[in-house]
Every structure is written in C-alpha cells, then in structure tokens.
Amino acid sequence: MCGRFSLDATKISLKEFAVSQIRYTPPTKFNIAPTTGIAVVRRDQDSERELVELRWGLIPVWAKLDSKLPLMINARAETVASKPSYRSAFKTRRCIVPATGYFEWKKLPDGTKQPYYFTLASGEQIAFGAIWEGETVATITTVPNREASAVHDRMPVILRENQYERWFSPDPLSEDERLDFLGPLPDGSLQTYPVDRRVGSVRHDDPGLIDPWQIKAAQPRLG
C-alpha cells in the first residue's frame, strides 16, 4: 500500500485545506497509479498553501535523476524520520495528497488477488500524509487498523483536519507528534468492499472501478 487511489475532484474541499494558490486543476480519476502526476497540497515559500501537480514517486535530493533507485512511492512511518531517502523531506517538506478512496489487494485461498476499495466511513475526503522533494512526492504508510488489516498489512497515513496546521509547519515534529500523526486511524473509521479486478490495469479509468463487485460465494463486506 498504497499503489492506487481515486480522486473525485468535485468532492475535494480546498477550503478545508486552506489552499490560497491553485497552480493545478486536478481531473476526476478513478485509477491513479505511481509515476503519474497527482494533486498535492503543500506550503510554498511564502508559507501559503498551494495546490500543485507532482510526480508520484519521490526522488531524494541527493540522487541523480537518471539513477536506478527503486520506485519510492511509499515511505514507511516507522523509518520516514530516519531513512536517508526520506528524512530531510520529512523534517520540513510534509504535504497532503487529497483522495476520495484507495485500493488494496487481498490474497485469496486460490492464490489470486482481489482488489478492495477503501473510503472513510464518514464519507469525508481523505488526506494522505506525504512528503515532497523537488517535483516528486511519496505517500506514507503505517500499520493497519481493524478494517485495513482484513485485507492488507499496511494502510496509508490519513490525517485529520485538526492535524493539518502542524503537518504543514516547516518545523520538525517531536517524537510524540510523530507517533500521533503517523499511527493508523481508529477502528471503525474505514469502510471497504471488493471491486472489479480491472483496476489492476492502468488502461482502465472509469466509475465502474469503484462500484461494489460480487465475488464468489458469500464474501462478507468488511468494515
């Protein structure tokens, strides 16, 4: 996690993120994949919040553009403050990736993988905790809560509105703040259901990808 997510641009509240500069108008997309340009809210040089487009897949400040580093789409909450690839960005370049839902794959007994779609049970927009470097960005993952653990062993860091102000601050987080901000959401915060396996291909991008999908036998709805 998290390797795919969706963004319904009509449901994203820039007012909630206190965005003052809109430098990118994101389209509605149902199957957003790594290496593509995604919407990011970050603090600009004047300490204002701006909405920009960054490439999903962070390139560390010390890396050459043509280096053969692994694709850094996710940073782990446990090591984001210490790992050389991420620690500089985590100190002062924290940002938010808006979303309306995300996908994760569950391995079934027959060895196949079934995608599930996750949203907030409240119906609110999602704010992925992320870090940026230059024109690139990586989202942060953490241990799962109850709903997420039924599908996968990781989940994205999802920030709450009362955390935004501190998250956007250029000052490093304290250890207590880091543990608070980077923990999983409380149990009961997510809802999820199986969806069409077409989401596994980036060629597909349509509303049907987030519709509930009937799978074999009585697979219970999670969350």
Q: Which residue numbers are catalytic?
A: 2, 104
Fill in the amino acid letter for 142: T
Spatial distance between the Cα atoms of 20 and 23, rounded to a whole number of angstroms? 10
Phi/psi of residue 138, nearest 5 degrees: -135, 135
* β-strand partners of 38: 54
Query: How many other C-beta atoms are found inside a 10 Å radius of the C-beta of residue 18?
Result: 12
What six digits make up the tokens of 194? 């199986």
Rounded Cα–Cα distance for residues 58 and 2 (Å)? 14
Residues 6+ away with beta carbon under 8 Å from 178: 81
